[in-house]
Amino acid sequence: MAVIAGNWKMHHGPADAAAFLTEFDATSVSAAHELIVFPPSISLYAVASSPHRDPRLQVGVQNVHWEDAGAFTGETSAPMAAGAGATFSLIGHSERRHVFGESDEDTRRKVEASLRAGLVPVLCVGETLEERQSGAVERVILRQLDAVLGALRDADRFLVAYEPVWAIGTGETATPADASSAHGTLRARLEEVLGVAGAATVPILYGGSVKPGNALELMSSVDVDGVLVGGASLEPTSFAEIGAAVG
Ligand code: PEP
């Protein structure tokens, strides 16, 4: 069983999202796999409530505010996302961290808000190129994970996505060995906190320029339980091809 998740980022408003759903055909994707899309908030309700949505395609929100409601113009709260039909929340995506300056403390509060609203958090972690070149991969991804583990340890379910920042939207991918190494580091920390059996239930996804042509190789890496796909998830055919490619 693998998780195939698509992050649409700031693409696919309600009309384009509806067109995606009409075209998306998951018959080539094994029924054992879990499929999730993260539309922009403006399209969340349209996707979740569409009669054309394949029921296998679950829906998540790309970001939430840490408060449940209030004077926060332009923000979306976790209960609102849940009310619109989201069941997952993407937390700490590299664009949130590096474009919008989100801190580890912000991600912790957003994880807590997600859990309060009954959303399953997908925590994104990953190092920049500079951090990789200075040998800081483990330190960075463990810092990002540790910041939220206290909030996550009692969650019914959560996922982690290892997304090296230098591989997102660049066409560069981690080698299977690099992905296994980072995923192994994350798994070991999860085992320390949740025990071996508990950690084994947490899917760790790889993200960063995943395409139909490289999905299988990345998925075959040790400790890689699925993929988080940006650009290649925008097109219904390529998203389905990635799902089919992983076996
Ligand atoms: C992402 O947005 O999470 C991502 C991995 O993007 P891309 O697949 O385009 O690199």
Q: Which residue ranges make up each domain of the chain?
A: 3-245
Closest CA to 204 of 246, 144, 163, 162: 162
- pLDDT confidence of residue 230: 97
**169: DSSP letter:** T
33 burial via Cβ count (<10 Å: 0-12, 13-18, 19+): middle
- The share of the chain scoring above pLDDT 90, in percent, equals 96
CA of 69 to the centre of ligand 1 (A): 29
CATH of 3-245, one of 3.30.410.40, 3.30.70.20, 3.20.20.70, 3.10.129.10: 3.20.20.70
User: What is the distance of C-alpha 205 from the center of its chain?
Assistant: 7
Cα distance between residue 75 and residue 212, in whole Å = 34
| Ligand 1 pocket member 95 (CB < 6 A) | no
The alpha-carbon radius of gyration of the chain (Å, integer) is 17
CA-to-CA distance for 216 and 219, rounded, in angstroms?
5
pLDDT digits (tens, 9 = 90+) for 96-139: 999 999 999 999 999 999 999 999 999 999 999 999 999 999 99
Q: Is 226 in the pocket of ligand 1 (CB under 6 A)?
A: no
Rounded Cα distance between 159 and 90, Å, is 9
Helix extents (H) in 135-175: 137-152
More confident residue, 79 or 171: 79
Model pTM score: 0.97
Number of the ligand 1 atom closest to the C-alpha atom of 229: 8
Ligand 1 centroid distance, CA of 233 (Å): 9
Which pLDDT belongs to residue 247?
Answer: 85
Q: In the predicted model, is pLDDT for residue 147 greater than 90?
A: yes
Mean pLDDT score, 34-58: 97
210 lines ligand 1 (CB under 6 A): yes
Ligand 1 centre and the CA of 165: distance in Å?
9
Residue of 198, 182, 233 lying closest to 212 (CA atoms)? 233
**85 neighbors 45 (Cβ within 8 angstroms):** yes
Stretch 65-74: mean pLDDT: 98
Q: Is 51 a residue whose pLDDT tops 90?
A: yes
pLDDT of residue 62: 98
Q: State the pLDDT confidence band at 182, using cuts at 50, 70 and 90.
A: very high
Could you say which of 12, 65, 93, 183 is catalytic? Answer: 93
Range 33-60 average pLDDT: 97
Pocket residue to mutate for ligand 1, from 7, 9, 91, most atoms within 8 A of Cβ? 7
For residue 105, how many other CB atoms are within 10 A of its CB? 11
